[in-house]
Amino acid sequence: MLTIASWNINSVRKRLPLLERLAEHTHADVICLQETKAAAEAFPTAAIAEMGYVHQAVAGYKGYNGVAILSKLPLSNIHRYPHCDRDDARHISATVDGLSVHSLYVPAGGDLPDIERNPKFAHKLRFCDAVADHFAGNHGYRDEIVVAGDFNVAPLPADVWDHVKLSRIVTHTPIEIAALERMKRALQFIDTLREVVPAGDPVFTWWSYRAADWQAANKGRRLDHIWVTQPLKSRIAGVEVLMDIRHWTPPSDHVPVVLKLRKTSPLPSA
């Protein structure tokens, strides 16, 4: 079994002890991080290596953004991708155990869902288009690819606490959902969580810091995703959202998503 976890950690240095707890809790072979908020020279490479993740691919940025792939297995073909002419550490990939693994952090997009009045929102949509173009232009449908990260879009009605209210709020607007769908169609990616959890069942990975009791209010959104290409579909053994980690202190406002892949596809029944 190959276990891949993805987490918007919201500062890797601030939550380094929580990363160690996550590693012990999941025994993940690979951990994809987003929003590490550390330049490459400030990334806690040695401390993470002591946790068993001696192989690391890091795209850092001082104070914000930042993505990383941490692995117990060797990494090769490490690439950092600037999209929309901005090298702001939002997309990195590496080959792990024969798979092309990507850690991706889509821009949040600000508060106003208007491309004319909000440049951040317009950039978010351009970024999604650029990522879609990247996958369509550099990979094929037979490639074995895992894309994990904070996509900052909750695509389905059950991915938000109130579909009607949130359809006018950034992360769940129709235009963002369409942009994410284009990313998905680029290589016919599979939303692994919705392979094992029905599309109508509410699942969230993010809860605002503003809620005094986030769990009681449960006004969450599913912003964090792990997608795989079609050749990996039969290898999906399980997907889990680690909701309890939201209680760990100091908490990130996101919780990890964990994918388990079989080493090989199961044999067809006789």
Over residues 217-252, the pLDDT tens digits come to 899 999 999 999 999 999 999 999 999 999 999 999
Over residues 52-106, the pLDDT tens digits come to 999 999 999 888 899 999 999 999 999 999 999 999 999 999 999 999 999 999 9
| Domain segments of the chain as ranges | 2-261
Is residue 132 a contact partner of residue 186, using CB atoms and an 8 Å limit? yes
Rounded Cα gap, residues 75 and 77, in angstroms: 7
CA dihedral in degrees (3, 104, 229, 22; nearest 10)? 10
Q: Residues of the chain with pLDDT > 70: what percent?
A: 98
DSSP 265: P
To the question of pTM greater than 0.85 for the whole model, the response is yes
Over residues 178-213, the pLDDT tens digits come to 999 999 999 999 999 999 999 999 999 999 998 778
| Dihedral of alpha carbons 265, 72, 75, 149, sign | positive
Rounded Cα gap, residues 257 and 226, in angstroms: 7
H or E stretch at 241: strand 236-241
- 220's CB contacts (< 8 A; 6+ apart) are 160, 161, 204, 205, 206, 207, 214
Mean pLDDT of the chain: 96
Q: Please name the fold of domain 2-261.
A: Deoxyribonuclease I; Chain A (3.60.10)
What are 225's strand-pairing partners? 149
